[in-house]
Structure 1
């Protein structure tokens, strides 16, 4: 058996996230679309393993996935086949053969997400599907100051919407970079893992600091409260991109 790794780019606008849903569920996911094409290519059912379970409406510049196959097709033939039959909002950027033990999710050392916030007097027309527009000025200095309290290993239960979560909510955030120009603010977060909606809740809370609704130092108390109600709103999915998945 060959183990094939894919690097995938997609526009998540019309999909219900990455992860395949039960057969009785009518929601359409990125995994569904790619598996359907792989199954047609192979003539038998193929299971695709994704590194990150991006949520409904979230996009990706560099999702990683892998699958095992008996095919004799060359790597470039697999790439061309997938890109020929996949919808135009999903693209396979790279195809490579990896060791049998490689697992896109279990072997991932870190995940990097980037959130785009449009700023300025007028909301952009052409970027509206991929940015959140802020109608109010955001104080970048306060946002950067607030972000420092989230660096390192902490219990991020405050920043999860899953109230029934039984697993440990401890995670390590390695970096948060906040960049701005005259048109846009980007927030890039790198962590060893993310819980559902974690990146978007962090962004929503940082924007609250930028709006002056919370003092930056309050972020420490919000984090330690382990209470979702203390954090800011969940930022809209359309502004979030899975930027990269890192492996050792």
Structure 2
């Protein structure tokens, strides 16, 4: 039995996220699409394990996944087969063979996401699927000041939409960088783990600071409160990209 690792890029615009949804036959997910092609490749049932469970509408530059197979196909043949039969909005960038115990999710040490915001005078027709458009100029300096409060290990319950979340809501944010120019702001967040919507709520809260609706130092109070109602809105999915999984 071989353990095969994939590096995958996808446009999440028309998908219901990465993970297949049991009991919802109408859902279309990235995992569903790739598993379907893999299962036909050698007529065997394939279970694909993804590193990050990106949400509906979220994109990825470098999603990592692995699967077990009995195929004798060469790695380049697997790559060519997948890219031939997958939809054009999903691409397999790399295929490699890894040790039997490699698990794309459990072995991951950190995840890096980026959130893209456009602020041009007129929204770009071509970027509308991949950037959030802000009708207000955002103050990137204040956003950077606010970002400092996230660094380190915190209970980030205020940035979870799941009120019944039973697992620990403590996370360690390693980096939170904000790049800006006249027309764009890019928020990059690296943490040991993310739960659904966490990156988007952090981005939405930072945008509230940039818009002048929240002071930078108020972020500390939001974190300490553990109250989702005090944090900012959940930013739209289209601006979020999984940039890298770190092992």
Look up the SS of the partner of 1:31 in the other structure: helix
What is the aligned partner in structure 1 of residue 19 from structure 2? 19
Quote the offset at 1:23 in angstroms: 4.5
CA spacing shift, 1:170–1:242, aligned 2, 3 Å: same
* Secondary structure of the corresponding residue to residue 120 of structure 2: coil
Matches within 5 A, 1:1-248: 1-247=1-247
Per-residue CA deviation, residues 32-91 of structure 1 (Å, 9 max, x unaligned), is: 000000000020110000000000000000000000001000000000000000000000
What is the count of residue pairs matched by the alignment?
A: 247
RMSD value, Cα: 0.7
Q: Distance in 1 between matches of 2:23 and 2:37?
A: 17
Deviations 1:206-248 (A, max 9, x none): 000001101100000001100000000000000000000000x
TM value normalised by structure 2: 0.99
User: Which segments of 5 or more consecutive residues in structure 1 lack a partner in the other structure?
Assistant: none
Q: Structure 1 CA distance, aligned partners of 2:23 and 2:145?
A: 46
Aligned-pair CA distance for 1:25: 3.1
- The alpha carbon displacement at 1:182 in A equals 2.2
Secondary structure at the counterpart of residue 229 of structure 1: coil
Secondary structure of residue in 1 paired with 2:229? helix
Normalising by structure 1, report the TM-score: 0.99
Question: Structure 2: which 5+ residue stretches go unaligned?
Answer: none
Q: Which moved more, 1:178-187 or 1:70-79?
A: 178-187
Question: In 2, Cα distance between the equivalents of 1:214 and 1:128?
Answer: 26
Following superposition, the deviation at residue 183 of structure 1 comes to 2.3
